[in-house]
Chains A and B, each alone.
Chain A
Amino acid sequence: MDVNQPKQEHLLALKVMRLTKPTLFTNIPVTCEERDLPGNLFNQLMKDDPSTVKGAETLMLGEMLTLPQNFGNIFLGETFSSYISVHNDSNQVVKDILVKADLQTSSQRLNLSASSAAVAELKPDCCIDDVIHHEVKEIGTHILVCAVSYTTQTGEKMYFRKFFKFQVLKPLDVKTKFYNAETDEVFLEAQIQNITTSPMFMEKVSLEPSMMYNVAELNTVDTAGKSESTFGARTYLQPMDTRQYLYCLKPKQEFAEKAGVIKGVTVIGKLDIVWKTNLGERGRLQTSQLQRMAPGYGDVRLSLETIPDTVNLEEPFDITCKITNCSSERTMDLVLEMCNTNSIHWCGVSGRQLGKLHPSSSLHLALTLLSSVQGLQSVSGLRLTDTFLKRTYEYDDIAQVCVVSSEVKQS
């Protein structure tokens, strides 16, 4: 990590040490039974060892803190803490010491020192200490530049700099997938992988929606009033482990009307991830705004507003559809036809006119149908014809419904 300037005799020495959290010392327990030859020897040795847990010397994980032994890895989103010490190695008093610490990245230079005032004098064998903290927001090469300027007893002004280079790595690999539901809801699956070398506790993974959406997170299960995470007892991610988080986004009321008309790329929101590692070392990342390509609906969109999950065999049930005119200029005159399939039978009048539908507006339609086949059935067979253009739009497989025999209790 050290990149020093050519040797020059200076009265002051600058030392830097990265302060990651300390680790706990582990013992190696050696025991024996009373009747064994060593008798109580091992037990006594373990009791005398200052690093064992008193009363439970066989427990490996002690309580003694050990300082970090090397620089370790540093990841985006973590806080870089470092001890900076300027020590007077000489035997003369040094005056007007100014210590400056800057962090140089590929894009900017940040000043990290807590105090910018010069210290009047430093006696021999004394030191000036500072602990700096910085939340790392960029990946790649970072250089900690420490500059020390001072005046010797003879009045000579001296100056030296030290450079410490380190790499900031990526801690998480985030993949997102969008699923469009039959209604206007969008489901977001976020896959998060721990690509560091130590276990990570995911404290919070939340989706901050853009102004168009309301979000419901689907990562906890509420049973008997207590909410439990879907990940159960495994609250942490080992290196290279992946986890999936699920969110449901519903467009807000004022945007729901326009939902069918949204074309192209829309901004959904961003993920906010907070994690902790050894002894509470914190890291935080936000993804950039996640975008989704709105599915193309063509000129006329048929979506479902309500449909039951489960219905009885051969019993009529109601659904409501929403028909949206997605074009921007044409008023449409639509005719609805219902075609039966093997399993789906529509009830009502087919071939009726729906009235004029203005651009970017929609109408709601209630329909009744029944199914003659058990199992998971696909609702199909709706046809909308634009009378002006003489174009027919077909709508098949718009939703699924589970059909059960009427002997099965229905609520």
Chain B
Amino acid sequence: MEFEQFGNLDQPDLYYEYYPHVYPGRKGSMVPFSMRILHAELPQYLGNPQESLDRLHSMKIICSKILENLEQGLAEDGSMTNITQENRQASVQLWRSRLGRVMYSMANCLLMMKDYVLAVHTYHTVIKYYPQQEPQLLSGIGRIFLQIGDIKTAEKYFQDVEKVTHKLDGLQSQIMVLMNRAFLHLGQNNFAEAHRFFTEILRIDSSNAVANNNAAVCLLYLGKLKDSLRQLEGMVQQDPKHYLHESVLFNLTTMYELESSRSMQKKQALLEAVAIKEGDSFNTQCLKLG
């Protein structure tokens, strides 16, 4: 709604040329690129993902055109210009990363629309723009296949991740590999093994929220409600700033409801904790008080 004032972000009064007395000599749109991305992404959260896709496509076309112009020695808007090699390089880099950002949004949008074939294809394109994120993106694609139910293809992707991270050092890649193995076991219905891998991650990085949460979830599926609750509650009490997160709270309240008839009191205690730490935008629906 707040975006309505700005229309489709191409109205004349949003261009520098409209205010020659304030911005003498400057050309182009005043709208920051990131704002355009926001404007494009918004409709998908409001139930109209096709509109998002259309907007992202037009942004993609413009970014591609600008890059084409730069590569042919012209200025971004296609006019003749004399800019230094350095500036040109900087501009190319900027617009390349912007194009990558648009592709990222498109892939996310396609995923939201459940068009898995296209989403996977687009994520592969994103890898070209963000090669440093290749292991994370490949793992993400693996998870998409897990969601579809195609466990074998997911396994292939997780194996590719291991090949790529083999050359990298560091905790992060180790954790990624363990996380993927845990997810694969989940897909094969093996909650005990999945729990083992999530716990393995905690041994390396004891404050890893995802591993903590996921290990607790596995415990529930193994019939250990009390242990699961203990793990999640411990997490929240230890570092409330970090762990009073929507998804963790969802899980906590679900387990409270399963545990006893006195879940309301515990949920209210959570609400108090949240009120202290979080701002107004916190989604209290996750506490299921209503």
Measured CB to CB, the residues of A under 8 A from B are 13, 15, 17, 19, 21-26, 28-33, 36-37, 48-51, 53-56, 58-69, 83, 85, 87, 89, 126-127, 129-131, 199-201, 203, 233-236, 238, 275-282
Contact = CB atoms under 8 A, between A and B. Distances in A.
Given A21-B186, A53-B136, A131-B222, A280 B247 contact: no
A51 B209 contact: yes
B149 A67 contact: no
B18 interface: no
Nearest to A25: B247
A9 to B, nearest CB: 12
Given A31-B37, A66-B250, A59 B210 contact: no
Contacts of A238: 114
A48 B143 CA distance: 22
Interface residues of B, number: 66
Contact of B149 (A24, A56, A200): A200
Nearest to A58: B104
B92 to A, nearest CB: 15
Interface of B: 32-34, 37-38, 45, 101, 104, 108, 111-112, 114, 116-117, 130, 132-133, 135-137, 139-140, 143-144, 146-151, 153, 172, 179, 183, 186-189, 209-210, 213-214, 217, 220-226, 242-243, 245-248, 250-251, 254-255, 257-262
A272 to B, nearest CB: 17
A411 B38 CA distance: 63
A275 B149 CA distance: 8
B258 A83 contact: yes
A179 to B, nearest CB: 31
B285 to A, nearest CB: 11
A200 B217 CA distance: 24
Given A64-B213, A236-B148, A131 B223 contact: yes
Contact of B220 (A60, A83, A282): A83
Contacts of B254: 17, 67-69
Contacts of B223: 83, 129-131
A201 B149 contact: yes
B186 A279 contact: yes
A49 B262 CA distance: 30
A212 to B, nearest CB: 34
A64 B247 contact: yes
Contact of A63 (B114, B149, B179): B179
A83 B226 CA distance: 13
A50 B243 contact: yes
A64 B150 CA distance: 20
Contact of B225 (A32, A62, A85, A201): A85
B96 to A, nearest CB: 13
Contacts of A49: 245
Contact of B189 (A32, A56, A69, A282): A282
A98 B143 CA distance: 41
Given A15-B258, A65-B251, A83-B258, 16 more contacts: A30-B38, A33-B32, A50-B209, A50-B245, A51-B210, A59-B104, A62-B210, A64-B213, A64-B214, A68-B254, A83-B223, A85-B225, A87-B259, A129-B223, A234-B117, A276-B150
Contact of B214 (A56, A65, A68): A65
A53 B140 contact: yes
B34 A31 contact: yes
Contacts of A59: 104, 108, 133, 136-137, 140
Contacts of A203: 149
B143 A24 contact: yes
Nearest to B154: A280
Nearest to B250: A66
A20 to B, nearest CB: 10
Contacts of A50: 209-210, 242-243, 245, 248
B210 A276 contact: no
Nearest to A60: B108
B149 A55 contact: no
Contacts of B149: 199-201, 203, 236, 275-281
Nearest to A277: B149
A277 B247 CA distance: 22
A24 B179 CA distance: 13
A57 to B, nearest CB: 9
A64 B214 CA distance: 6
B152 to A, nearest CB: 8
Contact of A15 (B210, B251, B259): B259
A19 B228 CA distance: 15
Q: Which 7 A-B pairs have the closest CB atoms?
A: A276-B149, A201-B149, A50-B209, A56-B136, A280-B187, A32-B34, A60-B108
B210 A66 contact: no
A59 to B, nearest CB: 5
Contact of A67 (B148, B150, B250): B250
A276 B151 contact: yes
A73 B117 CA distance: 25
A131 B221 contact: yes
A31 B101 contact: yes
10 contacts: A13-B260, A17-B254, A59-B104, A61-B143, A64-B247, A65-B186, A83-B258, A129-B225, A203-B149, A278-B149
B147 A278 contact: yes
B213 A235 contact: no
Given A61-B144, A236-B150, A66 B108 contact: no
Contacts of B108: 29, 58-60
Contact of B210 (A21, A26, A63): A63
Contacts of A61: 111, 140, 143-144
A201 B151 CA distance: 9
A31 B40 CA distance: 13
Contact of A236 (B33, B116, B210): B116
Nearest to B180: A63
A26 to B, nearest CB: 8
Given A51-B245, A234-B117, A83 B225 contact: yes
A62 B258 CA distance: 25
A340 B114 CA distance: 60
Contact of A19 (B38, B136, B210, B221): B221
A49 to B, nearest CB: 7
